Amino acid sequence: KNEVEQSPQNLTAQEGEFITINCSYSVGISALHWLQQHPGGGIVSLFMLSSGKKKHGRLIATINIQEKHSSLHITASHPRDSAVYICAVGGSNYKLTFGKGTLLTVNP
Amino acid sequence: DTGVSQNPRHKITKRGQNVTFRCDPISEHNRLYWYRQTLGQGPEFLTYFQNEAQLEKSRLLSDRFSAERPKGSFSTLEIQRTEQGDSAMYLCASSFTYSDGAFFGQGTRLTVV
């Protein structure tokens, strides 16, 4: 069993829909990261969370430390949101353990 | 400074050849990380530098792999006697402090034929 599990693996949505991607982990962590990877490989760090909730534009990330679960929400989704979203967990450095990612496709 | 830079972006090599990748972190970042990502998988941690010191290496980093960060600036990752299983995206990231977050490069995609 992977230490970081993401669901769903693939997600297709229509433009404007509210999207949720889930992440569960089985190890103790200092923080959880949500990352975005576009075709071609480049990774952008979206959020780093150790508790509660963070919001940036249309993106919202929440974490429940007791339940070892995090969600990434995208409101009013847009085709440019199409990417792979990766959850990663780590200790006090960036020796991160990554999930396999969720491939999001937003159709116009 | 436009971010973390990795070169080359793509590398095709024949099995058995040696390859070297370079990562230039954001200039004030003292921490540098290498990850490897195979197709359909999330990245996996390879190694971590704080300044010029290599503080941790994953078991994934076999004897054929070596990473350096002379003078605590850019880093190189060398793979000797490449094998087809080495084909992957090699990602570099840098950070100043943990709480400031990490910045990733675009990656070097290696194909071993």
**Interface contact A66, partner B, CB < 8 A:** no
User: Which residues of chain B have a CB within 8 Å of the CB of A41?
Assistant: 37, 89, 91, 106-107, 109
**Interface contact A41, partner B, CB < 8 A:** yes
Whole-number pLDDT of residue B98 = 62
Whole-number pLDDT of residue B74 = 96
Q: Which two tokens stand for residue B12?
A: 């095709």
Mean pLDDT of B86-102: 83
- In this complex, the residue of B98, B99, B109 whose CB is nearest that of residue A41 is B109
Give the strand pairing for B5-7 and B103-104: unpaired
Alpha-carbon span B96 to B50, nearest angstrom: 9
User: Which residues of chain B have a CB within 8 Å of the CB of A96?
Assistant: 35, 43, 45
pLDDT band at B49 (very low <50, low <70, confident <90, very high): very high
Q: CB-based contacts of A57: which residues, under 8 Å, 6+ apart? A: none
Average pLDDT, rounded, for chain A = 91
Per the CB < 8 A criterion, the answer to whether B24 and B4 are in contact is yes
Q: How far is A100 from chain B (nearest CA, A)?
A: 4
Per the CB < 8 A criterion, the answer to whether B75 and B21 are in contact is no
